[in-house]
Amino acid sequence: MSRNIKRFLEAIHQYQSISKAATALYVTQPYISQTIHKYEKQYGVSLLDRGKNKTDLTVAGLKLLHYLQSCAQRENQFAQEMASIAHYHTGAIKFGTNQPLGRYLLPDIFPDFHKAYPNIAVQLLELPTQRAAYLLNSNELDIFYGMQTNLNEIQFLPLKSNHYYWIIAKGSDQHTRYKTKAIKSLTNFELLNNTPLINVTSHSKFQQNIDQFLLLQGLHPKIIATVPDLDIATKMVGNHVASTFTTYQAIQQNNLTLDPKISIYQLPKTLLSLQSGISTRMAPTPPIQKLTELITQVVV
């Protein structure tokens, strides 16, 4: 049976809406509707209860979802048992991170992991936290490093609480009011008003925290661009245009601490902080435990 129907039913049951489910899963609403209609026709039952204000699963829809979830759990358990028999000599691990953490982290930890498990392939996925939580819960992701996933079925190991940083280029109107050679605390938030700002997409929990901060502070910067991840946003400011919120790691990777045309400001953790850590399913396998150990060594 197609794995998509399980994903679609889970998302509709969670969001009580086909359109919200489509947004969360990065698919179109007609694709979800067509897939569900196919199974309704196959079984001769209605799977969705389309109400005026919400859409949820019918009794038949819930029964099918529970069946598919139990099949997935049994399949995962079987795969773990087979891997145990093989002593983890072969297989693959799906390793997820928030963008752009993976491209910085994986090169540091992969050599030691490959020595320990030379026949296990690692697939890197950079994705939003909400999407990672869904994939972990549906056994389609093995380990995730990034912001905390808020699901009871997922265990979270907090590793680091980081500052948010605001970087601004010389070409921006406010730069002369901020310009400094050292990283300093940003205290006069009013100066963010009407300042050109590059955002990342709203699917990012990083950006959601920024948006909430700006809303609570009553600030209204001028959004001039929206890009897929903060690494792109940081590079754009590194080309001396506008400003953005980013991480110190992205600043270092783009060598902006030495750029005299870029000013860097640290936001106080009391107002905004970036909690990162490792999310895994309960009872992680030895290879996942090894990855957790290596990530911890690099990050902490």
CATH of the domain at 113: 3.40.190.10
- Check if the beta carbon of residue 178 is closer than 8 Å to that of residue 166: no
- Check if the beta carbon of residue 148 is closer than 8 Å to that of residue 279: yes
Q: Quick: pLDDT tens for 81-114.
A: 676 655 566 678 899 998 778 888 899 999 999 9
Residue 293 scores a pLDDT above 80: yes
Q: Quick: pLDDT tens for 256-290.
A: 988 888 999 999 999 988 888 999 987 788 889 99
Closest CA to 130 of 290, 19, 15, 289: 15
How far is Cα 156 from Cα 138, in angstroms, rounded to an integer? 16
In a domain, 79, yes or no: no
CATH code: domain of residue 33 = 1.10.10.10
For residues 177 and 237, membership in a common domain is answered with: yes
For residues 206 and 245, membership in a common domain is answered with: yes
How far is Cα 16 from Cα 90, in angstroms, rounded to an integer? 40
In a domain, 81, yes or no: no
Domain of 132, in residue numbers:
87-161+275-299
Residue 181 burial class via C-beta count within 10 angstroms: exposed 0-12, middle 13-18, buried 19 and up: exposed
Confidence of residue 129 (pLDDT cuts 50, 70, 90): confident
In a domain, 77, yes or no: no
- Of all residues in the chain, the percent with pLDDT exceeding 90 is 50
Higher pLDDT, 170 or 272: 272
In a domain, 170, yes or no: yes
**Number of separate domains in the chain:** 3
For residues 225 and 173, membership in a common domain is answered with: yes
Higher pLDDT, 203 or 176: 203
